[in-house]
Chain A
Amino acid sequence: AQSVAQPEDQVNVAEGNPLTVKCTYSVSGNPYLFWYVQYPNRGLQFLLKYITGDNLVKGSYGFEAEFNKSQTSFHLKKPSALVSDSALYFCAVRDPRGTGGFKTIFGAGTRLFVKA
């Protein structure tokens, strides 16, 4: 069964410092991996995804993620954090279903707090 783990409930970083939000996955085939961000009282917003090809994926708002097949990881990164990056971040994997339809499995979320 597909699964996603976000080992940190919260990540604290100072503004201007690099940030990393960790994600590991378990899939039976090719991984299709996603990062979403949720601001307070809002729906999730798509940040970036890995399908195939280059292991470094660039996304919205200066975020990027590195796919590492040997470590089954897909960590989210940003070179310089902003206070406005403070939000809840979800890693997700898509699960191909034999009966049709693709179920998205979300991690538990990691709260990022960027201090000014």
Chain B
Amino acid sequence: DTAVSQTPKYLVTQMGNDKSIKCEQNLGHDTMYWYKQDSKKFLKIMFSYNNKELIINETVPNRFSPKSPDKAHLNLHINSLELGDSAVYFCASSQEVIYNEQFFGPGTRLTVL
């Protein structure tokens, strides 16, 4: 059983397109996250949802819009894709207590041409 799953695994698209990445967790966690990992492997949080409510919204272009239809799903929609959006995007989940670890999905490698 996959704990945190993401689709698609790879996404290759042209500049200016709109694309979405989906994430699902079956761990019963109440909090989900989106992270961006750049080409130097630096990992930065983008968004976090707790029970469908946005609780962390870092300095991210408003072309990025997360949506959480329920606490098991967190999707990321990106409008007007730019070359600099190329990265690996990771979804993660946890039960939101400060000392709890996060569980990561396998990542979605986005390449913008």
Contact = CB atoms under 8 A, between A and B. Distances in A.
22 contacts: A32-B99, A34-B101, A38-B41, A42-B106, A42-B107, A43-B4, A43-B105, A44-B90, A46-B102, A49-B99, A94-B99, A96-B98, A101-B48, A101-B56, A101-B96, A103-B48, A106-B42, A106-B44, A108-B40, A108-B41, A108-B42, A109-B41
Given A32-B99, A94-B99, A108-B42, A101 B106 contact: no
Interface string A17-52: 000000000000000101010100111111001010
Interface of A: 32, 34, 36, 38, 41-46, 49, 51, 88, 90, 94, 96-97, 99-104, 106, 108-109
B55 interface: yes
B49 to A, nearest CB: 9
Contacts of B104: 36, 43-45
Contact of A94 (B44, B98, B106): B98
Given A43-B90, A44-B90, A109-B41, A104 B50 contact: no
Interface in B28-49: 31, 40-45, 48
B103 interface: yes
A96 B55 CA distance: 12
Contacts of A99: 55
Contacts of A97: 55-56
A51 B99 contact: yes
Contact of A104 (B40, B41, B45): B45
Nearest to B104: A43
Nearest to A43: B104
A97 B96 CA distance: 12
Query: Which among B56, B96, B103, B106 has the highest number of chain A CB atoms within 10 Å?
Result: B56
Interface string B11-32: 0000000000000000000010
A44 B105 CA distance: 8
A19 to B, nearest CB: 19
B55 A49 contact: no
A3 to B, nearest CB: 13
Given A88-B41, A94-B99, A43 B106 contact: yes
